[in-house]
Amino acid sequence: MAANEVPKIGLDKYKYDFKNPENYYFRVQKGLSREVVQTISEMKNEPDWMRQIRLRALEIYNKKPIPKWGGNLDDIDFDDIYYYIKPAEKMGKSWDDIPRDIRETFDKLGIPEAEQKYLSGVGAQYESEAVYHSLRENLKKQGVIFLDMDSGLKQYPDLVREYFGTVVPTGDNKFSAMNTAVWSGGSFVYIPEGVHVDIPLQAYFRINARNMGQFERSLIIAEPGSYLHYIEGCTAPIYSEDSLHSGVIEIIVKKGARIRYTTIQNWAPNVYNLVTQRAVVYEDAVMEWVDGNIGSKLTMKYPAVFLKGRGARGEILSMSYAGKGQHQDAGAKAVHLAPDTSSNIISKSISSNGGRASYRGLVKVSKNADRVKSNTRCDALILDDISRSDTYPYMEVDNATARISHEATVSKIGDEQLFYLQSRGLTENEAMALIVRGFVESIVKELPMEYAVELNRLIELQMDGSIG
């Protein structure tokens, strides 16, 4: 290797690339139309008000232009997507109850095992519908609700109607409108006042079909003083055709409650991942987004906190890895609408092998929000000369008492660091992997153990390529 050349990472490896035959129970025709929306609503046997919301959303969707900022959306053919695929006739009560190939998929992904070992409840979605859902008895007894969104709508229509679309309005952006028109699956979570769900709930989203569009819709309501850690994981097999994942997640964190929402998205490199996730946070409540973007072709995702009550706090930890052919346009949004609110944003991105990682963030302070504190820190690590990193921080501060800080660093793996580690016997790949692991350590240590281990293994795998 030449003296000052940083080694190139070999072809990124993806280990979730296994596929089943497409044995769906029902599928709409490709493309997004009024007819498709009607069909979805009929299939689900929904109340009329929901059908009206969907149809209005479709109109809004059709009117909104495709965003010109963020990533390149020119290549995606929205008419070549299936907007709804129902994989099985009904949801399973146990893992044995669901079609064998689907069950085997989740086995391979380690979900039933995780359910036994370290989760309070599991939701498993395959294509457009949940195929399995569980919640520990003791939590049910305490009044905790954890259902797929469709069942949530059936069993708790009033709760859903009260909150649906209040956090992320239909017309917030083109993709929130799209999601609202064709949403299917996702989680409905309700934590009663003062209840602490100490062991995490997890939802797992799996795409199997080619040209699939998955539009989960989640709603989490945390009553005062409650606590929840919710984890979301996503994977798909690799196809040459594009797939689309466009979720909307709405969270309400009431007085003194605290929610941590952890995402580890490891979509296949042909998936467009365009997600809107937002929490409204009331008095002295805390919302924590931990966002790990590893996979996908293009991700556009900016977890948001709307700090509405005095003393509300938002934490957004974002980690992204952009490898060959990937663009991670990730970031955070903190909107301070009340006095004494605070936000803390930490972003760590790695780009290698021609990948591009962007941080896009907004910190907004309204006029009446006195004594706001907000810190942003973005660190980017670029592993070679063909990869790219950008930072787009936006600030709109309408109150002079706000204390806002923003720090950004961009670094390349240094020859000195590599040499130092190599002089201790580590190969160049091992040295790179260790440096990268160190770089993301502050975020990885916030992840549940199993995910931290997985992520570290993933980094090693990515580094384990051929070095020219």
Partner 1 sequence: MCNPQKLLEIIDLHVSIEDKKILKGINLTIHRGEIHALMGPNGSGKSTLANALMGHPAYRVTKGKVIFKGQNILKMSPDERARLGLFLAFQYPTAIPGVTVSNFLRTAVNSVRNEEINVLDFHKRLNEKMKMLAMDKSFTKRYLNDGFSGGEKKQSEVLQLVMLEPEMVILDETDSGLDIDALKIVSSDINKVMNENMGMLIITHYVRILQYIKPQFVHILFNGEIVESGDYSLAEHLEEKGYNFIMNEEQN
Query: By the criterion CB under 8 A, which residues form the site for partner 1?
Result: 1-4, 414-417, 419-428, 430-431, 434-435, 437-442
**DSSP codes joined into one string, 162-187:** HHTTTSS-GGGSHHHHHHHHH----E
**DSSP codes joined into one string, 189-247:** EEE-TT-EEEEEEEEEEE--STTBEE--EEEEEE-TT-EEEEEEEEE----SS-EEE--
Q: Which of 338/459 has CB closer to partner 1? A: 459
Shortest Å, Cβ 458 to partner 1: 16
Q: Which of 25/419 has CB closer to partner 1? A: 419
Q: Which of 3/449 has CB closer to partner 1? A: 3
Q: Which of 42/385 has CB closer to partner 1? A: 385
Write out the H or E segment, with its range, that includes residue 420. helix 415-422
Write out the H or E segment, with its range, that includes residue 455. helix 449-463
Q: Which of 228/431 has CB closer to partner 1? A: 431
Least Cα distance to 219 among 174, 182, 195, 185 occurs for 185
Q: Which of 329/379 has CB closer to partner 1? A: 379
Shortest Å, Cβ 3 to partner 1: 4
b or e along 435-451 (b: 16 or more beta carbons within 10 Å of the residue's beta carbon)?
bbeebbeebbebbbebb
Shortest Å, Cβ 325 to partner 1: 27
How far apart (Å, rounded) are the C-alpha atoms in residues 118 and 124?
16
Shortest Å, Cβ 452 to partner 1: 13
Least Cα distance to 209 among 248, 239, 245 occurs for 239
Q: Which of 2/400 has CB closer to partner 1? A: 2
How far apart (Å, rounded) are the C-alpha atoms in residues 200 and 109?
17
Shortest Å, Cβ 436 to partner 1: 9
Shortest Å, Cβ 15 to partner 1: 22
Q: Which of 338/447 has CB closer to partner 1? A: 447
Alpha helices in 9-141 (DSSP H): 34-44, 48-63, 100-108, 111-118, 137-141
b or e along 179-210 (b: 16 or more beta carbons within 10 Å of the residue's beta carbon)?
bbbbbbbbbbbbbeeebebeebbbbbbbbbbb
Shortest Å, Cβ 439 to partner 1: 6
- CB 233 within 8 Å of CB 266: yes
Shortest Å, Cβ 346 to partner 1: 13
C-alpha R_g of the chain: 22
Shortest Å, Cβ 423 to partner 1: 5
Q: Which of 397/467 has CB closer to partner 1? A: 467
